[in-house]
């Protein structure tokens, strides 16, 4: 059901965040693309 899909999406996000972590905030100071 939708619950399973929701869990799968959450797991995928965790995997992506673990395999491809975002660069530190200090490296994006002169980057206008980051909307923080």
The whole-model pTM stands at 0.48
Which of 9, 7, 33, 8 lies closest to 22, judged by CA? 33
The answer for residues whose C-beta is within 8 angstroms of residue 34's C-beta and 6 or more apart is: 28
Closest CA to 8 of 16, 29, 32: 16
Taking only the tens place, the pLDDT of each residue in 1-36 is 899 999 999 999 999 888 887 666 666 566 666 566
Model pLDDT, residue 11: 96
């Amino acid at each position: 059901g939708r619950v399973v899909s929701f869990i799968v999406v959450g797991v995928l996000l965790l995997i992506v965040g673990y395999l491809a972590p975002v660069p530190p905030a200090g490296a994006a100071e002169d980057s206008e693309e980051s909307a923080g």
